[in-house]
C-alpha cells in the first residue's frame, strides 16, 4: 500500500451533501424523547401536538370596568343616559377576572360616570363586548403544532396555556470531534508551543459552531498520528454519537489516515470537495452514522462545518438550514481565482457613502484571524478566473446588515496607533468598529480616490519639499477635497534582534550583502522612506539581501526578526518594543489621517476625530513608546513638515 492517499474524486459541495444525506436513514438514526415544555426551546416536534385545555378556560374580562347584561343597556343614548345599580345590574370587574353569571359584556371604566351606588352610561354595550370568551385563543383538542416544528419562545407560552407540560421531540444530534496530530497540544494545558507544535483549537471552534445549531458536542483528547489509535478512537465515538468528526489527517499526506480508517469501519463516500479552502473534506458512513474528515487548517475546517456539515445536520434535525444575510458589495481590489474549484474569499465590509465596500483579506486556509477580521465572504464560481476591481459581488454576512453602519473603513498604512484607536472606539458609549486594511500609504490614497474608504493613514515623505503627504495628495488626488489630521509623529528605524548580534549601525550596514533584510510592500510609506535613504547612501537594491521580500505590517516585520527569518527590517519603534527587540533610529516622520471632506459630517468620522483630539488618545499613544504627540489632533497644512 502506498504511504500516501489519493483523492477519489473532488466533487461539488451540493453533490457531497446529497451523497451523505442519501446514505443516511434519518428515521432510524434520530430517536424521539419526552422533555418538559419549558425546556423545549429550539427542539423539533416528533408528532402533532393537540391542546389539552382551552384558553381561556372561562369567559373573562378583557378590560377593567363593569360587567353587565347587554340588553339592559340598549336604550342608552347621548342625552338619554341609563342608570345601573351596582352589584345588581352591574358588577365591578378587573381585567382577567371571570365574567359573573348572567353577564355577557363589560363596559370600560373610562366610559361610565360613577354615581355612588350606581353608574351612568350614555352608550349601549353589545353582547360579548370586551370579553375574552372560552376558547377564544385555543380550543381544547385542536392541533396547536404540526410535526417537525421547531419550538420558539412563543410556542412554549402557547403550549403551557393549552395545558401541555411535556413534549415528544426528536433527540438532539450528537457529535464527537477527534483532534489528531503528533504536533497537537491540548489547549486546556495552556501550553507554550515549541517549533513544530501547535495549540489545538479547531475542536473549540466546532463546539461553538455546534452550539449555534443546537446540537450536543463533545471532543476527545488529541490522538497521535497512528492508524490503530485513530481506528480505536473512531470506533469508540461511533458508539455514542450520530456524527464523528476527525480533525486533520484528511488530506493526502503520509500521516493522513482518516480515509483509510473510514474504509475499515464503514464506507468511504467522498474524499475531496470542489471548494477552496475546504478541499480535503472526507465523508463516510458506519453503522448508519456519519463520518467526517475535517481539514486541519482552521479556515478549511470552518468551511467544512458550514458548507457541508450544517446542511446535513439541519436535515438530520428536521430543521431548515440557517441562512446568512446577503448584501451587494463593490469590490475594492481585483481578486483572481484559479478555475476548477469554487473559492470562498473573506472580506472586510463597511458602508462608505451610500454603498457597501468589500476589501478581500488574505486567503490562506490557516489564517483564522481573517475570520475574526472579516464581516462576510463571497463565493467565486468554479468556472471563473476571479472578480475585478469595482465589480459588484454578493457577500454573505457574519452579522446583521445594520452592523455595517457601525464600521469605520480604513485603508492605508499600518500603524499600532490605528489598532489603539480601534480599541478605544469599541469602548465608547456608542461602540464603533474600526476595520483596517493594510495596503500601504499609496494604497490608502488609491482607496480614497475610488471612494472605497472613509479615511487613510499615510506617512509619505517627499525628499524634494521635505514635506509629508501633501505633495502626494496634490499629485494623486488633485480633485478630492481632504482634511489631513495628524495622529502622531513616529520613530522609524531598523528593528534588530536583542543585543544586535550583527552590529548593525544604520543603512550602510546593508551594503555588503551579508545582512538578511525584510522589506515592506511597494507603495508603503516605510518602503518609500527606505528607498530614499538607500539612494542617499548610494546603495543598490540588488546588493541588499532580502530587498524583494515583503511584509505588510510593522508587527509582521518585527515577527520576522524575532523568529530569525530576517536579521533586520525597517519599522516603527513601537513594534520593536512590543516584541522586546532592539531598535536603531533612522528618521522621524508624520503619520497623518487623510479624510475626504465629504465624510467629515458622518457621525462615525465625527466620533473618530473627537477621539483623536482627546487627551485619552495622546496619553495612550505616549505609553506605546516611539511616538511624539505634539501635533496629535491638529489639522495639517502643506509645508508644515514635522511642525
Domain range for 156 is 32-55+137-170
In a domain, 417, yes or no: no
- What pLDDT score was predicted for residue 643? 75
DSSP structure string for 420-432: HHHHHHHTSSS--
In a domain, 8, yes or no: no
pLDDT higher than threshold 90 for residue 3: no
| Mean pLDDT of the 445-449 span | 95
pLDDT higher than threshold 90 for residue 82: yes
**147 & 296 share domain:** no
**514 & 551 share domain:** yes
| Mean pLDDT of the 167-187 span | 96
- What pLDDT score was predicted for residue 8? 54
How far, in Å, CA of 255 to CA of 200, rounded?
17
| Residue finishing a domain among 118, 151, 170 | 170
pLDDT digits (tens, 9 = 90+) for 590-641: 999 999 999 999 999 999 999 999 999 999 999 999 999 999 999 999 999 8
**384 & 456 share domain:** no
The grid coordinates listed for 326 are 446577503
pLDDT digits (tens, 9 = 90+) for 384-399: 999 999 999 999 999 9
Question: Does residue 326 contact residue 282 with C-beta atoms inside 8 Å?
Answer: no
CA dihedral 450, 451, 455, 461 (to 10 degrees): 20
- What pLDDT score was predicted for residue 288? 97
In a domain, 473, yes or no: yes
How far, in Å, CA of 458 to CA of 441, rounded?
5
How far, in Å, CA of 176 to CA of 244, rounded?
5
How far, in Å, CA of 199 to CA of 298, rounded?
12
- CB atoms < 10 A from the CB of 579, how many? 16
pLDDT higher than threshold 90 for residue 241: yes
> Residue written as cell 336604550?
75
**305 & 369 share domain:** no
* Longest CA pairwise span in the chain (Å): 113
- In the chain, helix, strand, coil percent, each to 5? 30, 30, 40
Provide φ and ψ at 308, rounded to 5°: -105, -55
pLDDT higher than threshold 50 for residue 514: yes
| Mean pLDDT of the 176-194 span | 94
**41 & 81 share domain:** no
In a domain, 276, yes or no: yes
- What pLDDT score was predicted for residue 272? 93
- What pLDDT score was predicted for residue 525? 87
In a domain, 596, yes or no: yes
- What pLDDT score was predicted for residue 254? 54
Nearest partner of 394 among 352, 345, 333, 447, judged by Cα: 345
| Mean pLDDT of the 83-94 span | 96
| Mean pLDDT of the 312-323 span | 95
In a domain, 465, yes or no: yes
pLDDT higher than threshold 70 for residue 330: yes
The enclosing H or E element of 407 equals strand 407-412
> In percent, how much of the chain has pLDDT > 90?
89
Provide φ and ψ at 413, rounded to 5°: -70, 140
pLDDT digits (tens, 9 = 90+) for 429-440: 999 999 998 889
pLDDT higher than threshold 90 for residue 2: no
| Residue finishing a domain among 399, 423, 456 | 399
| Residue finishing a domain among 316, 349, 380 | 316
At residue 397's C-alpha, the angle toward residues 393 and 399, to 5°, is 155
For residue 178, list its beta bridge partners: 246
- What pLDDT score was predicted for residue 290? 98
- What pLDDT score was predicted for residue 248? 84
Distances from the Cα of 348 to the Cα of 24, 162, 265, 291, 322, angstroms: 38, 48, 43, 34, 22
For the domain that residue 384 is a member of, what is the CATH number? 2.40.340.10
- What pLDDT score was predicted for residue 323? 92
- CB atoms < 10 A from the CB of 282, how many? 30
**198 & 235 share domain:** yes
pLDDT higher than threshold 80 for residue 251: no
How far, in Å, CA of 84 to CA of 272, rounded?
83
Nearest partner of 374 among 354, 352, 403, 334, judged by Cα: 403
How far, in Å, CA of 521 to CA of 530, rounded?
11
- What pLDDT score was predicted for residue 534? 93
In a domain, 437, yes or no: no
- What pLDDT score was predicted for residue 268? 95
Task: Look at the chain and report how many structural domains it folds into.
Answer: 5
- What pLDDT score was predicted for residue 1? 38
**528 & 568 share domain:** yes
For the domain that residue 165 is a member of, what is the CATH number? 3.90.105.10
- What pLDDT score was predicted for residue 253? 58
**546 & 605 share domain:** yes
| Mean pLDDT of the 221-243 span | 96
pLDDT higher than threshold 90 for residue 63: yes
Mean pLDDT of the residues in the chain: 93
**36 & 157 share domain:** yes
pLDDT higher than threshold 90 for residue 583: yes
For residue 483, list its beta bridge partners: 595
**246 & 113 share domain:** no
> In percent, how much of the chain has pLDDT > 70?
98
Question: In this structure, is the dihedral angle defined by the CA atoms of residues 501, 505, 506 and 510, taken in order, positive or negative?
Answer: negative
How far, in Å, CA of 559 to CA of 538, rounded?
29
For the domain that residue 593 is a member of, what is the CATH number? 3.40.190.290
At 378, the pLDDT band (50, 70, 90 cuts) reads: very high
In a domain, 640, yes or no: no
| Mean pLDDT of the 420-430 span | 94
pLDDT higher than threshold 60 for residue 419: yes
Question: Does residue 178 contact residue 245 with C-beta atoms inside 8 Å?
Answer: yes
**188 & 271 share domain:** yes
| Mean pLDDT of the 47-65 span | 94
Cβ-in-10-Å burial (0-12, 13-18, 19+) of 509 comes to buried
How far, in Å, CA of 503 to CA of 361, rounded?
37
**120 & 144 share domain:** no
At 255, the pLDDT band (50, 70, 90 cuts) reads: low
pLDDT higher than threshold 80 for residue 5: no
The backbone region for 469, taken as left when phi is positive above 0, alpha when psi lies in -120 to 50, beta otherwise, is left
| Cis status, amide bond into 227, omega within 30 of 0 | no
Amino acid at each position: 500500500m502506498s504511504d500516501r492517499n489519493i483523492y477519489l474524486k473532488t466533487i461539488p459541495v451540493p453533490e457531497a451533501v446529497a451523497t451523505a444525506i442519501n446514505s443516511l436513514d434519518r428515521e432510524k438514526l434520530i430517536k424521539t424523547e419526552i422533555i418538559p415544555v419549558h425546556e423545549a426551546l429550539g427542539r423539533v416536534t416528533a408528532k402533532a401536538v393537540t391542546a389539552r385545555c382551552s384558553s381561556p378556560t372561562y369567559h373573562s374580562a378583557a378590560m377593567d370596568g363593569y360587567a353587565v347584561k347587554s340588553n339592559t343597556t340598549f336604550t342608552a343614548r347621548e342625552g338619554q343616559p341609563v342608570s345601573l345599580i351596582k352589584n345588581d345590574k352591574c358588577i365591578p370587574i378587573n381585567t382577567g377576572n371571570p365574567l359573573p353569571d348572567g353577564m355577557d359584556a363589560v363596559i370600560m371604566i373610562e366610559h361610565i360616570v360613577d354615581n355612588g351606588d350606581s353608574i351612568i352610561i350614555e352608550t349601549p354595550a353589545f353582547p360579548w363586548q370586551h370579553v375574552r370568551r372560552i376558547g377564544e385563543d385555543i380550543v381544547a383538542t385542536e392541533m396547536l403544532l404540526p410535526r417537525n416544528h421547531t419550538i420558539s419562545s412563543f410556542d412554549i407560552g402557547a403550549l403551557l396555556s393549552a395545558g401541555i407540560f411535556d413534549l415528544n421531540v426528536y433527540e438532539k444530534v450528537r457529535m464527537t470531534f477527534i483532534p489528531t496530530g503528533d504536533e497537537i497540544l491540548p489547549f486546556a494545558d495552556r501550553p507554550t508551543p515549541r517549533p513544530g507544535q501547535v495549540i489545538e483549537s479547531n475542536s473549540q471552534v466546532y463546539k461553538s459552531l455546534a452550539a449555534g445549531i443546537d446540537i450536543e458536542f463533545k471532543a476527545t483528547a488529541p490522538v497521535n498520528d497512528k492508524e490503530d489509535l485513530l481506528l480505536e478512537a473512531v470506533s469508540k465515538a461511533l458508539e455514542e454519537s450520530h456524527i464523528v468528526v476527525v480533525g486533520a489527517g484528511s488530506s493526502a499526506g503520509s500521516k493522513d489516515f482518516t480515509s483509510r480508517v473510514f474504509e475499515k469501519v464503514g464506507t468511504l463516500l467522498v474524499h475531496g470537495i470542489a471548494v477552496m479552502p475546504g478541499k480535503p473534506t472526507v465523508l463516510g458512513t458506519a453503522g448508519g452514522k456519519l463520518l467526517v474528515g475535517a481539514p486541519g487548517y482552521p479556515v478549511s475546517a470552518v468551511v467544512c462545518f458550514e458548507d457541508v456539515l450544517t446542511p446535513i445536520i439541519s436535515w438530520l434535525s428536521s430543521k431548515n438550514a440557517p441562512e446568512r444575510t446577503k448584501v451587494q458589495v463593490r469590490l475594492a481590489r481585483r481578486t483572481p481565482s484559479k478555475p476548477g474549484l469554487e473559492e470562498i474569499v473573506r472580506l472586510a465590509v463597511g458602508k462608505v457613502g451610500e454603498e457597501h465596500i468589500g476589501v478581500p483579506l488574505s486567503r490562506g486556509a490557516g489564517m483564522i484571524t481573517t475570520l475574526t477580521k472579516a464581516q462576510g465572504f463571497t463565493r467565486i464560481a468554479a468556472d471563473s478566473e476571479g472578480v475585478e476591481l469595482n465589480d459588484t459581488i454578493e457577500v454573505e454576512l457574519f452579522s446583521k446588515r445594520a452592523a455595517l453602519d457601525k464600521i469605520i473603513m480604513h485603508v492605508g498604512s499600518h500603524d499600532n496607533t490605528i489598532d489603539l484607536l480601534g480599541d478605544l472606539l469599541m469602548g465608547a458609549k456608542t461602540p464603533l468598529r474600526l476595520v483596517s486594511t493594510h495596503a500601504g500609504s499609496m494604497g490608502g490614497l488609491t482607496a480614497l480616490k475610488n471612494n472605497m474608504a472613509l479615511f487613510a493613514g499615510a506617512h509619505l515623505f517627499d525628499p524634494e519639499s521635505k514635506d509629508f503627504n501633501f505633495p502626494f495628495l496634490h499629485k494623486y488626488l488633485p480633485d478630492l477635497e481632504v482634511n489631513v489630521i495628524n495622529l502622531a509623529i513616529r520613530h522609524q528605524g531598523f528593528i534588530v534582534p536583542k543585543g544586535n548580534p550583527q552590529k548593525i549601525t544604520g543603512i550602510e550596514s546593508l551594503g555588503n550583502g551579508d545582512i538578511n533584510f525584510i522589506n515592506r510592500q511597494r507603495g508603503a510609506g516605510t518602503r518609500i522612506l527606505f528607498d530614499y535613504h538607500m539612494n542617499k547612501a548610494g546603495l543598490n537594491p540588488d546588493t541588499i539581501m532580502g530587498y524583494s521580500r515583503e511584509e505588510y505590517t510593522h508587527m509582521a516585520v518585527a515577527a520576522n526578526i524575532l523568529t530569525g527569518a530576517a536579521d533586520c527590517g525597517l519599522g516603527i519603534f513601537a513594534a520593536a518594543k512590543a516584541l522586546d527587540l532592539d531598535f536603531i533610529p533612522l528618521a522621524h516622520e508624520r503619520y497623518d489621517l487623510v479624510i475626504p471632506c465629504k465624510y467629515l459630517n458622518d457621525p462615525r468620522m465625527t466620533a473618530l476625530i473627537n477621539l483623536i483630539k482627546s487627551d485619552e488618545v495622546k496619553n495612550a499613544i505616549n505609553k506605546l513608546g516611539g511616538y511624539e504627540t505634539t501635533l496629535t489632533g491638529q489639522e495639517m497644512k502643506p509645508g508644515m513638515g514635522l511642525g
